[in-house]
Structure formats: structure tokens, C-alpha cells
Chains A and B, each alone.
Chain A
Amino acid sequence: MKRLKFAFPLVLVAALVVVLGRGLSLDPRKVDSPLIGKPAPAFSLPTLAGDQPLSHETLAQQVSLLNVWASWCVACRAEHDILVALGKRDDVHLFGLNYKDNADDATQWLRQHGNPYIASAHDLAGLVGIDWGVYGVPETFVIDKRGIVRAKHIGPLTWPYVNQELLPLLRALEAEPS
């Protein structure tokens, strides 16, 4: 009994160290999206190219990626080569949400760095961004064939994430019945 009493504070401290240590290793900037598992928020916006408006229904026609970007966003430049590579693949359907950006700047940016998107919706006021819970550009959403949001990546895409998580997820979703 005496020994137990001695060990009690030690166990308490050890537990605290584990809990706080785990807290330290979490990234507070990565907030889980409450949208995951829910239908993609409805929207319909003009595209940068000025053709057919882009809507949540367009996204739901296949497994889609929706990448939130802006020409003023420095981190978007960092992930752009990855997006260009993804845009070239037949099994990836990449759409853009141009967030709080000037249409001319955005078009110019795509001309300069390459346009990987099937279409980019132009969200000048950022209201669609609010509906999607966007708080830090770039963000990338995965939408399945039934129009359900299945994953969200916050911050620039990286090759390890794309190869180890994103592409396997897309393959799995592709295999699901529509």
C-alpha cells in the first residue's frame, strides 16, 4: 500500500506528459472540417473562363477534387506543380475555387503557371468559401460520386500526401457505386 502511494504521483505525471506531449505534436492550424461525410455545400458560380457556371452538381458527377486557390496566395504557388501533374491524369477530375481574387489577376496567374483545372469557379466575395468553411488558402476537398465531401487537406499539397493518401482515396472512391 505504501509503495502504491509513492507511485501515484509518478503515474499522474506520466499520464500528464503523454497527454500534453500528444497535444504538442498536433498542428493547431489543422482544424477538422465538420463537412466531412456531409453533402457538398450548394453553390453556383461563374467560372473564370466565363462559360457554363460551375456548381456542386458538376462536382458530384464523378469523384472530384476542389482546390481553393488565389493568385495572391503564396503557398498556392508551392503546390501548383503538383496540381499541374494531377491535372494531366485521366483519373483525376480537378476543379478550382478561385477565392477572393481579381478575375484578371487569376486568369493571368493561370496563363503564367499553367491551368490544371477543368474549370475554376470565381468566388469574388468569398461567400461560397464561408459555406465550405475555407479559412486558409490553399485547401483541397475530395468529393465522391454522390456529392459527399470525403476529405479535406489544409495547406499546400505535398507529394507524400498525394501518393500515400490522396491517390489511394480517389481509387477507393472510384470503386464505390454511384
Chain B
Amino acid sequence: MKTAVVLCLLLLSLGASAWDDDDERRWRQLNLELRCLVCQNQSIADSHAPLAEDLRAQVRQMIEAGRSDNEIRHYMTERYGDFVLYRPPFKPTTWLLWLGPALMLGVAVLVVARIRRRPTSKPVAGNDEAAVQALLKEVERE
């Protein structure tokens, strides 16, 4: 009986603290989303900087402690600012960043539409061979 209880508790504690595939997937995903501020064009997943190592460990600890992805992102932005996120939040200072591409596409569509609507040059009326020859001669003379 005693052994059964101990075994049960052991299994329970294992279940609570075990690092499962889902945790691993979340950890990897978060590491990819967080910028390493030491080598700014790398995520903390890619970087070998000591700070990136520390931050990876920190993210891991927070996942183990049962914190949500958003809580972890908030923890990082509280300390390093939005710059630490590779996917910046949508807010007034980033409106242009998020909407810029759509805005440019809109402008491009408008420009193309205007160009297409412009009338093309009128063709020479009829098939007047004599008129064409006269014009050519005029050009030659000049």
C-alpha cells in the first residue's frame, strides 16, 4: 500500500514537471520570436551570445513554471522593449509598419488603373496610301 502511494506521488510529480513535446515546441517557437539584443539580426534561438543563452534558459524556466506565451512575451518587452519581438505589436507607432505594404499596394493599383484608363493615340483614319506617302516624303525632306 505504502509503495503504491509513493509510486503514485512519484508519477504525479513526474507528470507535473516533465518537459513534454508541447513545451519543447513552445520553447522553440518563442526562442525564434525573440530578438537577441546583442547580435540584433539573430533570434535568441540562433545566437550564441551569453545573453541569448540566459534568455533561452529564462524562457524555459517560465514555461516550466506554467506561464503562458503572452506572459513570457510581456516579461521580455517589460525589460527590453518591443524591439525584442520580431513580430511587433499593432499600436499607433507601428500602424505604418503593419499597414504600409497594403497602403503601397493600394497606391500602385490606383496608378495602374489611371494609366489603363488613359486613351491610346488615335489610328490614322482609313487606309489612305497617298496620305501616308505624302507624310513620309515630308519627313524625308526635313
Contacts of B40 in A (CB 8 A): 28-29
In the complex, how many angstroms separate the beta carbon of B46 from the nearest chain A beta carbon? 16
Determine which of A31, A33, A35, A135 lies in contact with B51 in the assembled complex, contact meaning CB atoms within 8 Å.
A135
A32 CA / B81 CA spacing, docked (Å): 7
Q: B interface, how many residues as a size bin?
A: 10 to 19
Which residue of A is nearest B51, CB measured?
A135
Determine which of A29, A31, A34, A100 lies in contact with B50 in the assembled complex, contact meaning CB atoms within 8 Å.
A100
Q: A interface, how many residues as a size bin?
A: 10 to 19
Q: B50 contacts A126, CB within 8 Å?
A: yes
Contacts of B55 in A (CB 8 A): 130
What does DSSP make chain B's interface, helix, strand, loop or mixed? helix
Binding site for A on B (CB under 8 A): 37-38, 40, 50-51, 54-55, 58, 77-81, 83
List 25 A–B pairs whose Cβ atoms lie within 8 Å, in order of A's numbering.
Answer: A28-B40, A29-B40, A31-B80, A31-B81, A31-B83, A32-B81, A33-B81, A34-B77, A34-B78, A34-B79, A34-B81, A35-B79, A100-B50, A125-B54, A126-B50, A126-B51, A127-B54, A130-B55, A130-B79, A131-B79, A132-B79, A133-B79, A133-B81, A135-B80, A136-B38
